Amino acid sequence: MSLYLNGVIDSDKYQKYRITYPKSLYEAIMAHHAGGRLLAVDVGCGTGIGTFPLLEYFDTVVGCDPSAKMLATAAQVREKLPGVSRRRVSFQQAAGEDISRLFEERSVDMITGGESIQYVKHDEFFRAAARLLRPGATLAFWFYADPVFVDYPEANAIFKHCAYEDQRSFAPLWPPEMELVRRLGESIQVPSHEFEMVHSEVNVPLKTKGTRSFRVTREGCTLKDLRDLISTWSVYDAWKKNNKDCAEDVIDALIEKLKRGCGWDDNIKLRLEWETSFYVARRRQT
C-alpha cells in the first residue's frame, strides 16, 4: 500500500492494462439494490475503472482514493466524458475509512469497492459505511485474484509457484492484505448488526459450476499482454525497487518458465479467466 500511496505505481499504465469490470457485474449488484439511485460512492477508486460505469445507474457518482496520482489520471479520463456525464462524476482524495467526513449521514444510496476493500481498516470502514448509507441502501464490493489459463492447467501451477512460493520472485514481497484477495474476500466479516448480506458469488474457473454474473475473461491473450497485466501489480514495483541490479526481470523469468513448462512459443494465444467474487450487503433499517 505504501508504494501505491507514494505514487510509485504508474497510474497511466494501470489505467491502460488493468482489467475492467463487465456490465453483468453491475447488473447483478443492481438486481439486489432496493434503495434509491441518487448518490453512489466508490472507495479505492484508483483511476476510476470501477467508478465510471456507475453513471449508468446513479444520478451522481463520487470516487474516493488516497492516491493523488491515481486521482489525477481519473480526472483526465473524466475530462473526456460528454458534458452532462462529466458534471455527474467527481473525485475526492480520501481513504475508505475517512469517507464519512465527505458526506452527510444517511445520504448515500450505494457504496462500492472494487479490488480495494483489502486495503481498508475493516472496522472503521464498515462504521463509516453504516453511518453514510440510507436505511435499505447497498454496500457492494468485489475482488479478482489470479488469471487462470483455461486450456493449460499445468500453466496454473507454474504461475502460482512463481507468484507466491518462489523466494527469488514475488513471494517475499506480498503485503499481508494480499491474502484477503487470494481468498477472494471470503474471510471478510461484514457486521451483521448493521448490514444484511443479501448476495455473494465466488467464481474459480475450472472449478465453479453453473452461471456466474462476474466473469472476467480475455481471449487471444499474447505473452506480451500477460506481461503488461502483471506489470500493473504493485508488488512488481516493489521487486524493481529491491532488485535494481538484477540481470533478469522477474516477469520475463516467469514467462520463460511458462514457455518451457508448457511448450509455448512467442506466438501462443491464450484464453484467460480470472478468479472473482462479489458481495452485496444491505444497510439494516435502524
| Confidence (pLDDT) at 211 | 85
Give the pLDDT mean for 78-93.
Answer: 97
Q: Each residue of 252-285: pLDDT tens digit?
A: 999 999 999 999 999 999 999 999 999 999 999 9
Q: Each residue of 176-185: pLDDT tens digit?
A: 999 999 999 9
Cell of 200: 455473494
Q: What percent of the chain has pLDDT over 70?
A: 94
Amino acid at 18: R
Tell the burial category of 156 from Cβ atoms under 10 Å away from its Cβ (0-12, 13-18, 19+): middle
Distance of CA 206 to the CA centre of its chain: 21
Cβ(115)–Cβ(143) below 8 Å: yes
Q: Which fold has domain 2-283?
A: Rossmann fold (3.40.50)
| Confidence (pLDDT) at 279 | 98
Distance of CA 227 to the CA centre of its chain: 18
Helix (H, G, I), strand (E, B) or coil at 81: coil
Task: Give, for 191, the enclosing helix (H) or strand (E).
Answer: none
Determine how many CB atoms are found less than 10 A away from the CB of residue 253: 15
Q: Which residues contact 8 (CB under 8 A, 6 or more apart)?
A: 237, 241
Least confident span in 28-37, 94-103, 238-247: 238-247
Report the C-alpha gap between 261 and 266 in whole angstroms.
14
pTM surpassing 0.85?
yes
pLDDT at 1 over 60: no
With the C-alpha atoms ordered 105, 197, 118, 271, is the resulting torsion angle positive or negative? negative
Least confident span in 5-14, 37-46, 108-117, 149-158: 5-14
Rg (CA), the chain: 19
pLDDT at 5 over 70: no
Helix (H, G, I), strand (E, B) or coil at 214: coil
Helix (H, G, I), strand (E, B) or coil at 254: helix
- Average pLDDT of the chain is 94
Residue reference for cell 489459463? 149
Cβ(51)–Cβ(45) below 8 Å: yes
Q: Each residue of 135-162: pLDDT tens digit?
A: 999 999 999 999 999 999 999 999 999 9
Cβ(141)–Cβ(113) below 8 Å: yes
Domain ranges of the chain: 2-283
Q: Which residues contact 132 (CB under 8 A, 6 or more apart)?
A: 41, 99, 100, 103, 104, 105, 106, 107, 108, 111
